Structure 1
Amino acid sequence: MAQGSKKVAFLLAEGFEDSEMKNPYEAIVKNGNDAVIIGLEKGVELTGKRGTVSYTTHMSAEEADPSEFSAVIIPGGKSPSHLRESDAIIRFVQEADGQGVPISAICHGPQVLQRAGLLKNKSFTSYPGIAEEIAVDGAVFLDKPVVVEDNLIMSRTPDDEPYFIEETIKRLGVDAY
């Protein structure tokens, strides 16, 4: 890892939205930041739901220490529905949140935040089709390209990626654009 670079966790499972992984990942690594793909298991090749990109997990959630990361990114698609069933993923997200680490979730990504109990009485955005599912415990859906609530950064769809990436980069404090 280059001096001054940041270590960013990407939480990923099968069926992620291709561009929601590819574009933030490329923006993060562009200037030498270390992108670490954390999955349910180490060394598993995961393919996006559109089949245009694949990534291999660097470590499992059980192995990951949230204190080692400067940010967490949760791409959407079907991946979050798998991730939210993992106690290790939920623990990782809760610990990262407890340390004030920026956590960015796009599309279906906020499903993980909701399962981790991080959206209670907060504003959020997500893929509109799952807003009602997430809007429990006092969470309020805002139909906006990006919503920032404390250390949480959320967006709706691939169309919002420029805003999502820009806000994530800003919170990370690196010049990656």
Structure 2
Amino acid sequence: MARIAFILADDFEDAEFRVPYEHVLKAGHEAVIIGLEAGEPVTGKKGEEVITPEKAVRNVSSREFDALVIPGGYSPDHLRMDIDMVGFVRGFFRADKPLAAICHAPWMLVEAGIAEGRTLTSWPSLKTDLINAGAHWVDREVVEDGNVITSRNPGDLLAFSEALLRQLEHGSAQRLDVPLAPVAPAEQPPAIH
């Protein structure tokens, strides 16, 4: 059984928390909700979810967990302003533990210095931010680049959740190389007659 951290602040995308959370529990893993403060409820942007973080980020370490899930919405924008939260996220990356970020959550990857050299996807409005941070942005349902898993939106939640569970079971996916521009074929030498 793995122990998975979910980080949340107000205005998280309700389904982007609920769906992976339920998949993690159904697979028999433990899910722990981490916030800026323990015991202070946070509300999803659609108002469907009100979640009370069990632990404050300043009181935990990435060493205590096997993976991290970052739901999107506006929550990641709030979380990236907290130095402890940024360090917590960076810890998963450095330890090569699965780090799953969906929709607007790759903002946290930029803030933690994780995006550079990675192939990532996100909500389309983050494309320029990710490219400016040195990432190769692609428009795909799910992207696994080593231990970093990204998806675009709530419509990708099944693939996102499956990628997380697969990495928990089998370890990180292979590191993707950023595709290079196509190379023109070399000129053929003249035929000798």
Fold shared, TM-score > 0.5 on shorter chain? yes
1:20-68 deviations in whole A, cap 9, x for unaligned?
Answer: 0000001111243111001111111111111111111011111111111
Q: Hey, which bits of structure 1, 4+ residues long, moved more than 6 A?
A: none
> Is 1:114 matched up with 2:110?
yes
> Is 1:14 matched up with 2:10?
yes
Matched residue, 1:84? 80
Matched residue, 1:100? 96
Equivalent residue letter for 1:50: K
Aligned partner (choices 40, 43, 49) of residue 47 of structure 1: 43
Count how many residue pairs are aligned between Structure 1 and Structure 2: 170
Alpha-carbon distance between aligned partners in 1 of 2:54 and 2:3, rounded to the nearest angstrom:
13
Alpha-carbon distance between aligned partners in 2 of 1:96 and 1:140, rounded to the nearest angstrom:
21
Deviation at 1:124, TM superposition (A): 0.6
Quick check: 62-71 or 132-141, which moved more?
132-141
SS at 1:62's partner residue? Answer: helix
Bigger-Rg structure (1/2): 2
Aligned partner (choices 120, 132, 135) of residue 136 of structure 1: 132
SS at 2:144's partner residue? Answer: strand
Equivalent residue letter for 2:108: V
1:78-97 deviations in whole A, cap 9, x for unaligned?
Answer: 10000111100111111111
Deviation at 1:16, TM superposition (A): 0.4
> Is 1:34 matched up with 2:22?
no
Q: Higher relative CO (CA 8 A, sep ≥ 6), structure 1 or 2?
A: 1
Alpha-carbon distance between aligned partners in 1 of 2:26 and 2:119, rounded to the nearest angstrom:
31
Equivalent residue letter for 1:67: R
Alpha-carbon distance between aligned partners in 1 of 2:97 and 2:52, rounded to the nearest angstrom:
24
Deviation at 1:72, TM superposition (A): 0.1
Alpha-carbon distance between aligned partners in 1 of 2:19 and 2:40, rounded to the nearest angstrom:
21
Aligned partner (choices 62, 67, 71) of residue 75 of structure 1: 71
Aligned partner (choices 137, 156, 161) of residue 165 of structure 1: 161
